[in-house]
């Protein structure tokens, strides 16, 4: 059984459908945006949030691996990093669509766009490292150390860089005045979407871990058969 | 002259209605696949768990 029960998964399915309906047909578009472009915030920001969360989970399990040397921790870190990259790519694509509507170009090398590309490269290298080392123990140790160092760049690239340089990117959800300035309908859909994307991440994460465990057990059984 | 084309009879939401509909269909597909995959993984886990 995964993190969410069957009922929890069905609730997530219905909730996400309601969020999609609310995002496009119920919430009003925000002011100071071209046309309906502000509606992308209901998907783009939760995706970026889930990517940060996934990289944090990868770092925590990497630290646990270095401490306990359990193969399960290595698998957990790898699963979180894989999903983090998927959500990071989704956030990049949705951001790029927003850029086309707002600034008439899919890509502007804005500080926010540049920093997300760097983040993708950093975690792409993590997957490259895992693929390049054959010895499982060496791979786990090296990638755990790398994931910890890589996570240091996440707050810097996702939160610090875009605030250090002038950017075309709209105000962050918690703005410079430390407030969430959204109308009631936008706030409701936005935070529901953030919660639903977080639940979706944990569902995917639990699936990935369960499949990884089955593959490990199948490999161990095969090795035993060969040895016998 | 009255426009009787399907587009003219669509709800007043205009293009957003179609965007929402396409997104809902995509989500329904992803959700159905994930739910199916989850049940398959659970069935395999049950078969491989030693009893007692």
Torsion of CA B24, B26, B31, B37, to 10 degrees: 170
ipTM score assigned to the predicted complex? 0.81
Does residue A14 sit at the B interface (CB-CB below 8 Å)?
no
pTM here? Answer: 0.86
CB-based contacts of A64, cutoff 8 Å, min separation 6: A70, A73, A76
Residues in chain A within 8 Å Cβ distance of B13: 24-25
CA dist A43 → A84, A151, A189 (Å)? 15, 23, 10
Per-residue pLDDT of chain A (228 residues; tens, 9 = 90+): 556 788 999 999 999 999 999 999 988 887 777 778 889 999 999 999 999 999 999 999 999 999 999 999 999 999 999 999 999 999 999 999 999 988 888 998 888 888 899 999 999 999 999 999 999 999 999 999 999 999 998 888 877 776 777 666 776 665 666 666 778 888 899 999 999 999 999 999 999 999 999 999 888 888 888 887
Which chain A residue shows the shortest CA-CA distance from B35? A9
Q: How far is A149 from chain B (nearest CA, A)?
A: 32
Residues in chain A within 8 Å Cβ distance of B23: 20, 24
Nearest-CB residue to B23 (from A20, A36, A217)? A20
Rounded to whole angstroms, the Cα distance separating B43 from A41 reads 38
The two tokens of residue A124 are: 């792409």
Cβ distance of A17 and B27 shorter than 8 Å: yes
Cα-based angle A66, A71, A73 (whole degrees, multiple of 5): 60
Helices (H), chain B: 6-9, 15-48
Cβ distance of B41 and A211 shorter than 8 Å: yes
Q: Is B1 helix (H, G, I), strand (E, B) or coil?
A: coil
Q: Which residue has the tokens 């809902």?
A: B24
Q: How far is A21 from chain B (nearest CA, A)?
A: 6
Cβ distance of B27 and A16 shorter than 8 Å: yes
């Amino acid at each position: 059984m995964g993190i969410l029960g069957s009922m929890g998964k069905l609730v997530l399915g219905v909730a996400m459908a309601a969020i999609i309906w609310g995002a496009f047909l119920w919430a009003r578009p925000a002011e100071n945006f071209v046309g309906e472009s502000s509606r992308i915030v209901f998907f783009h920001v939760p995706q970026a949030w889930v990517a940060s969360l996934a990289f944090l989970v990868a770092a925590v399990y990497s630290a646990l691996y270095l401490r306990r040397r359990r193969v399960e921790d290595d698998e957990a870190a790898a699963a979180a990093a894989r999903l983090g990259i998927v959500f990071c790519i989704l956030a990049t694509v949705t951001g790029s669509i927003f850029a086309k509507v707002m600034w008439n170009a899919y890509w502007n090398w804005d500080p926010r766009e540049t920093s997300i590309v760097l983040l993708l490269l950093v975690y792409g290298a993590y997957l490259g490292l895992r693929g390049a080392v054959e010895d499982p123990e060496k791979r786990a140790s090296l990638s755990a150390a790398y994931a910890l160092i890589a996570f240091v760049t996440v707050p810097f690239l996702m939160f610090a860089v875009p605030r250090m340089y002038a950017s075309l990117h709209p105000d962050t959800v918690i703005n410079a005045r430390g407030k969430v300035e959204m109308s009631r309908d936008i706030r409701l859909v936005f935070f529901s979407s953030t919660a639903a994307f977080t639940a979706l991440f944990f569902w995917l994460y639990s699936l990935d871990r369960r499949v990884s465990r089955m593959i490990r057990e199948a490999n161990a059984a095969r090795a035993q058969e060969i040895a016998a | 002259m009255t426009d009787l084309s399907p587009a003219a009879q669509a709800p007043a939401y205009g293009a957003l209605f179609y965007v929402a509909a396409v997104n809902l269909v995509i989500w329904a597909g992803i959700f159905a696949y994930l739910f199916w995959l989850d049940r398959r993984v659970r069935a395999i886990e049950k078969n491989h768990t030693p009893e007692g």
